Every structure is written in structure tokens, then in C-alpha cells.
Amino acid sequence: MTDTRLSFKEMCEKFDVTPRTLRYYEYIELLSPERAGRARHYNQREIARMTLILRGRRFGFPLESIRQWLEMREQEGSEAQMRIWVDEADRQLAELEVQRQQLEESMSELRQLRDTTIDSLNKG
């Protein structure tokens, strides 16, 4: 296995994040790059963590939940982490379903209002 390390700039480019975002993830201890003076280097562990962080954000998980989930693997192992992940995923799926229903209702109402307005314009 090659020891892939990315610089700060390469990490931003690879994951399409701003330097501010990457520094923030370090500040809240989601990432811990190796440091050599002012330079930062991200090893495979940090690259994998960043992948999971961004995936979690895409699914709508708060950063604090992601941080706790990442720490769990180190403290309790991958099986405990996976069990917690399944529970968190089930909760998030339920929340997303509620949001989807609300969005569908809003879209339906907007379509009806638009159609009513079009009918009024056509009659007028």
C-alpha cells in the first residue's frame, strides 16, 4: 500500500472544499493532519475521514454527530461504529422522509396556485 499524503492545497482540491472549511474541520477536531512547520500533510486516515465527513454532510448529518461517530471507531471499534451508524441512518432517513413529504406538499400547492393564476390570466 502506498503512503499517500496530500498537502493542504491538494486536500482542498481533491474534496472541492474551501481552505476555511478545511481549517474549520481541523479546529473542531474532525481532522488532524501531520504538521511540519506551517505545512500540513493529510495521510490516508485523514483522507478517509474527510470522505466520511463529506458523505455525512451530504446526507444531512450535523458535524457533531459525525465527529462522535468518527471517534467511536477509535474508542470502541468498527462494529460499534457500524451499529451506531445504522441507528443514525434510520433516524436521518425518517427525517428526510418528513422533509420530502413537506416539499411535495409545497410543490403541489405552488402548482395549484400557478395554474389558478394562469387560468385567471387566460380569462382576463
pLDDT beyond 80 at 124: no
Q: What is the pLDDT of residue 110?
A: 97
Which pTM does this prediction carry? 0.76
Higher-pLDDT residue of 93, 76: 93
Where do the structural domains in the chain lie, given as residue ranges? 6-123
Q: How confident is the model at residue 1 (pLDDT cuts 50, 70, 90)?
A: very low
pLDDT beyond 80 at 3: no
Write the secondary structure of 4-58 as one string of H (helix), E (strand) and C (coil).
CCEEHHHHHHHHCCCHHHHHHHHHCCCCCCEEECCEEEECHHHHHHHHHHHHHHH
pLDDT beyond 90 at 106: yes
What is the CATH number that goes with domain 6-123? 1.10.1660.10
- 55-89 pLDDT per residue, tens: 999 999 999 989 888 888 778 778 888 888 899 89
Q: What is the pLDDT of residue 2?
A: 56
State percent of the chain over pLDDT 70: 98
- 107-118 pLDDT per residue, tens: 999 999 999 999
Q: What is the pLDDT of residue 108?
A: 97
